[in-house]
Structure 1
């Protein structure tokens, strides 16, 4: 009986670890996700001379350039700066810009 209980405990532990890994896989993309263009909190004009953009975690931003646009939700837990080219459509101005993420007071839990 003891041997079977050990197997059951190991199986339960493995099952829970897989469930946790699956839940983490469904958490936000490292850079955020595309968003509905009708819901941006603000709009940022981009050009090839744009060096950086500052956004907050959870913020929805519409990026515009030469009549083109896309909207992005920065629903990420990460705080590391990254290249704008990671989220921008190919050929969109500002590809060399760096995105800096600021903390959102709602994410702090205070």
Structure 2
């Protein structure tokens, strides 16, 4: 429930802002990738301005997510190794438990009448 409220509080205003941004910036602009010859049509792209803004946001999100994912690699590696070690100790404990049960079955004294 709380997650839905947070999503509504965040996503609805964000959607309204994005729609307003798209409507206000729909004129066509040219993005020239050649800094020395801006008239070069091979390295230029014409599109509505809001597309360039959205593309910049998406590229920023992807680069930020990649940076966080790469920086947290050591923690994921440690979690994997600790999970493997926990599984190894669990298997060893199960082996000892079954061995103890087997030995207790063998060494039970006969019932006295």
TM-score, length-scaled by structure 2: 0.29
Compare CA radii of gyration and give the structure with the larger one: 2
Using CA pairs under 8 Å that are at least 6 residues apart, name the structure with larger relative contact order, 1 or 2. 1
Q: Which has the higher helix share?
A: 2
Greater fraction strand? 1
